[in-house]
Amino acid sequence: MTTHSASTSPSAATSAPASSTAAALPLGDDALVLSHRLGEWAGHAPVLEEEVALANIALDLLGQARVLLSLVGDEDELAYLREERAFRNVQLVEQPNGDFAHTIARQLYFSTYQHLMYGQLAASDSPLAPLAAKAVKEVAYHQDHAEQWTLRLGDGTAESHERMQRGLDALWRFTGELFEPVAGLDLDREALRERWTAMVTAVIGKATLTVPEGPQSGAWTAGAGREGLHTEPFGRMLAEMQHLHRSHPGASW
Amino acid sequence: MVTTAAYTPHTAHNTHTAHTAHAAHAAHTDHTAHAPSTPTPLEAELRALAGSVPDPELPVLTLGELGVLRSVHVSGTGHVDVELTPTYTGCPAIEAMSADIEQVLREHGRHDVTVRTVLSPAWSTDDISAEGRRKLAEFGIAPPRPHTADGPVPLSLTVRCPHCGSTDTELLSRFSSTACKALRRCVACQEPFDHFKEL
């Protein structure tokens, strides 16, 4: 299929202002890494419908990641041959799946952010706007999915309530990084944070859960994923994700 | 991830992005025929051919009825440039669609073909033709509802069961066999069915 030319050849990419596509790497890494985490649920989800739902969400994110990373360079090289420190994703998306409630907490925090972020980006004059306009419609469903599950688990049994609260609490310290400045991404971050907080607070309250207290960034590492500093589980995730490609360079289906 | 979905920052937003759109075009063939000019009879014919390709996931629909075929242009040198838009950004069927379009055009003597993927303007379920909706329902898939001003996820309108016609249906899962469908069940006839969800 050689006629499938990527229109993002180096000449096209570099002719755009440097800052305009600078955000493609961090946003692409967010989508790629979360896609891989969600893919880890394949074969392990609590019910078949959720197996399919999580895989579908992962697929949406993978599609977004491919478009974004292709703006930066070769998508396969970027995904499979970069070292941990070269990844620019937020630490929230690299956090292990934990139990189902933990994954849903991660989804609630991230999809709410991603929906608002793509919404702003779609209305901007960024060259990423066409992707954002498309992705925002997909992420609306991810957010709805996370919201419905948060309500169901929070306002469910004593055990589901406790697990959902535990997930929200454990991941809270990774949420501050979502509102840090990103090079090439000209957003109203204050509005983003306010809207995110209002939406997440409303869902958590309605689910009879408690908005976590405490800082939204942790010790020295938290809040540094955009600078290439990642948490311990990320290296292991990458090892698994990159293993096949590194062991068998050029392998294809 | 060998074949790359091309990203063309087509947008009518403003002058700034018009600049990058030019740059992206320059990386391709000449786009002299790309202006919103009236298609030539040859272009109309090739478009009908490309549009007649069945969707790889939903073979009851053609790509034309699905609304994913954006344009077909023939340059002065006879090169055929086809613009295709994905339903979802990560839709894996896009590669099969491109290959099928290339094949059908090749069978009709057009060997110099480029199928490009464009994202903007974003595809919407409103792009599915009336005939496409009818075929979906006939195939047992509830067609998407038209958009309202409320946004992309209209949850208030009911979805009619494609089997018995009842409006008493319930959502089982927001995500079904493909990203573009949700799984529902009819309370009246108890049959589960796919619903082409609104995007």
* CATH number, residue B36: 3.30.300.130
Q: What is the mean pLDDT of the segment spanning B180-185?
A: 90
**By the CB < 8 Å criterion, does B156 face chain A?**
no
Give dist(CA A161, CA A38) in Å, integer: 22
Section A161-182 average pLDDT = 95
Tens digits of per-residue pLDDT, A21-78? 899 999 999 999 999 999 999 999 999 889 999 999 999 999 999 999 999 999 999 9
- Asked whether residue B20 falls in the same domain as residue B113, the answer is yes
- For residue B13, the chain A residues in CB contact (below 8 A) are 125, 129
pLDDT at B180: 85
Average confidence (pLDDT) over A122-127:
93
Q: What is the mean pLDDT of residues B126-152?
A: 85
Whether B187 maps to a domain, the answer reads: yes
Please say if the pLDDT value at position A4 is more than 60. no
Instruction: Write down which residue in B97, B117, B137 finishes a domain.
Output: B117
Number of Cβ within 10 Å of residue A185's Cβ equals 19
Subunit contact B5:A67, Cβ cutoff 8 A: yes
Q: What percent of chain A has pLDDT over 70?
A: 90
Q: State mean pLDDT over A178-191.
A: 92
Q: Residue B21: is its pLDDT beyond 50?
A: no
Residues 6+ apart with CB under 8 A from A166: A101, A102
How far apart (Å, rounded) are the C-alpha atoms in residues B2 and A73? 13
| Residues in chain A closer than 8 A to B90 (CB atoms) | 59-64, 66
Rounded to the nearest angstrom, the minimum Cα separation between A216 and chain B is 30
Q: Indicate whether B93 and B76 sit together in one domain.
A: yes
Q: Report ipTM for this prediction.
A: 0.74
DSSP at A179: G
Number of domains forming the structure of chain B: 2
Residues on chain A touching B7 (C-beta within 8 angstroms): 6-8, 67, 70-71, 130-131
Among residues A196, A185, A210, the alpha carbon closest in space to that of A27 is found at: A185
Under 8 Å between Cβ of B97 and B87: no
CA–CA min distance B90, chain A (Å): 3
Residue A125 or residue B15, greater confidence: A125
Q: Which residue of A has its CA nearest to B183?
A: A49
Q: What is the mean pLDDT of residues A146-163?
A: 97
Residue B141 in this model has a pLDDT that exceeds 80: yes
User: Does residue B7 fall inside a structural domain?
Assistant: no
DSSP 8-state symbol, B5: P
Of B6, B88, B177, Cβ closest to residue A60: B88
Chain A neighbors of B28, CB-CB under 8 A = 5, 7
A252 has a chain B CB within 8 A of its CB: yes
B19 and B90 in a single domain? The answer is yes
Query: What SS3 state is found at A160?
Result: helix
Q: How many CB atoms lie within 10 A of CB B48?
A: 13
Structural domain harbouring B76: 15-117
- Are B109 and B39 contained in the same domain? yes
Closest chain A C-alpha to B42 CA, distance in angstroms: 21
Whether the pLDDT of residue A165 is over 80: the answer is yes
Q: Are A54 and A107 in contact (CB under 8 A)?
A: no
Q: In whole angstroms, give the CA distance from residue A223 to residue A217.
A: 6
Domain end among B60, B87, B117: B117
Per-domain boundaries in chain A? 16-241
Residue A76, C-beta contacts closer than 8 angstroms, at least 6 positions apart: A245, B1, B2
Which H/E stretch holds residue B84? strand B80-84
Which residues 159-218 of A have a C-beta within 8 angstroms of B? none
Report CA Rg, chain B. Answer: 19
User: Which of the pair, B148 or A111, is modelled with greater confidence?
Assistant: A111
Architecture in CATH for domain A16-241 = Up-down Bundle (1.20)
- Could you say which of B117, B140, B169 is where a domain stops? B117
- Do B52 and B112 have their domain in common? yes
Which of A57, A61, A62, A137 to mutate: most B Cβ within 10 Å?
A137
Structure tokens at B157: 């309108």
Model confidence at B8: pLDDT above 50: no
Contact A32, B89 (CB under 8 A): no
Interface of B with A in 31-60 (CB under 8 A): none
B110, B136: one domain: no
User: What is the residue whose two structure tokens read 């009851």?
Assistant: B60
pLDDT exceeds cutoff 80 at B32: no
Q: Do A133 and B120 touch (CB under 8 A)?
A: yes
pLDDT band at B174 (very low <50, low <70, confident <90, very high): confident
Rounded CA-CA distance B79/A194 in Å is 51
Interchain contact B96–A (C-beta under 8 A): no
Instruction: Answer whether B90's CB lies under 8 Å from A60's CB.
Output: yes
The answer to whether the bond into B121 is cis (omega within 30° of 0) is: yes
Least reliable range by pLDDT among A90-99, A158-167, B64-73, B86-95 = B86-95
The residue behind tokens 């070269």 is A86
Worst-scoring range by mean pLDDT, A90-99, A118-127, B21-30, B39-48? B21-30
Distance to chain B for A51, nearest Cα, Å: 10
Report CB contact under 8 Å: B114, A3: yes
pLDDT at B25: 39
Q: In what order do the strands lie in the sheet with B181-186?
A: B141-142, B192-196, B181-186, B169-173
**pLDDT for res B179:** 80
Per the CB < 8 A criterion, the answer to whether A161 and A169 are in contact is no
Task: Calculate the CA B180 to chain-centre distance.
Answer: 11
Residues of A in contact with B178 (CB under 8 A): 56
Per-residue confidence at B9, pLDDT binned at 50, 70, 90?
A: very low
Higher pLDDT, B9 or B179: B179
Q: Could you give the percent of chain A with pLDDT greater than 90?
A: 82
pLDDT for res B150: 53
Q: What is the pLDDT of residue A85?
A: 95
**Which three-class secondary structure state does DSSP give residue A141?**
helix
- Measure CB to CB from residue B90 to each of A7, A52, A64 and give the nearest one: A64
Determine the pLDDT at residue A16.
Answer: 43
